Amino acid sequence: RPLLSVYGLDTSNRIYSVLWPLSQFDHRTGDNRIFPFFWGNDYFTGFPLYWHAGHPLGAGGGHDIFFPLWNYSGRYSEYDMDVVWPIVNAKKKDGVRGWRVWPAYGQYAKGRESHYRFFAWPLGHEWSSSSGRLTGSTLIPLYYHEDTPTEHLFLSLPYSCARSTSGDRWDALLPLFIRAADANHSSFYSLPYSSGRDADGNSWRLALPLFFSSAHKDR
């Protein structure tokens, strides 16, 4: 060393090192290298840009990567392919199918379980999951909304609101007012007038700077 070394002289499958650790040829495992290239029975790497392993188009599967020009992994009809990552992608793998041309448009779906798409990323997004039990969309900065079987949420300027099947709800028209209510309470806030009430009949009112009053069920 470091010029030359040979291991396994008593066998036919020897290990040769030349200018170790830059190059090595292992006839036992089939792993070889002449830095920055590494290869073996089922792979080839040109570090750090090119990586190939397995059989990407065969039954065993594998990947072929030349970063950032392409990135392909898959087997038979299943694949996940990027071209000039992250701009172009096409995927049909692990139950997910979709494509994108970023940032213009993209869409992905996993059967009927979930769906997602975007346009003019990061401005527009739309999504759903659990067979439509969760849906939502947003167009930044104009609005955001999401719906579930029990809740609804909508956010925007100037108006936003939310409600649930339990009876909780609120809405706001900024800067004019905010009001909220649940099974036991309700309230309204604005300038100059605000008020509130509960299920027992207790209430209050405020008109700035004129007056404040409150009323209770027993008086």
Q: What is the pLDDT of residue 168?
A: 94
Q: What is the pLDDT of residue 200?
A: 83
Sequential pLDDT tens for the chain (219 residues):
889 999 999 888 999 999 988 999 999 999 999 999 999 999 999 999 999 999 998 888 999 999 999 999 998 889 999 999 999 999 999 999 999 999 999 999 998 889 999 999 999 999 999 866 899 999 999 999 999 999 999 999 999 999 999 989 999 999 999 999 998 899 999 989 999 998 888 898 999 888 888 888 665
DSSP conformational letter for 98: E
Q: What is the pLDDT of residue 159?
A: 96
Q: What is the pLDDT of residue 124?
A: 98
**Cα dist from 144 to 117, 130, 159, whole Å:** 15, 20, 11
- β-sheet bridge partners, residue 203: 197, 215
Q: What is the pLDDT of residue 141?
A: 95
Q: What is the pLDDT of residue 218?
A: 62
The answer to whether 90 and 97 have CB atoms below 8 angstroms apart is no
Write phi, then psi, for 2 (nearest 5 degrees): -90, 5
Report field, pTM of the whole predicted structure over 0.85: no
